[in-house]
Amino acid sequence: MNKSKALANDYRPEILVNLSSPVNGYDFIHKMKVALKELRETRVWLLMIKKAKLIEPSKLESLLDESNQLLSIFVTSLKTAMAKKK
């Protein structure tokens, strides 16, 4: 079975309802905090992989750079959302 058919088989209406429903400020802040936690954890794992030399460090640099950029974006978005809720 190809990937697109597998994805089609996983179709569940409740997922689409959840994705299309409006997000209130508190829900958005919570989701941003969860995403930020995951980004930080990913960065830690990338640094451990680099330190253990499991992958050539040059291949990890772009991933580390991207994770840093995403962290900056998410932190700024979270600060903005929290300031608007006050």
The pLDDT, as a whole number, for residue 85 is 81
| Three-state secondary-structure class, residue 7 | helix
Helical (H) or strand (E) element with 64: helix 57-85
Tokens 């903005």 belong to 80
pLDDT (tens digit per residue) in 24-60 = 888 999 999 999 999 999 999 999 999 999 999 888 9
pLDDT at 69 over 60: yes
pLDDT (tens digit per residue) in 3-13 = 555 555 555 55
CA distance 63 to 71: 12
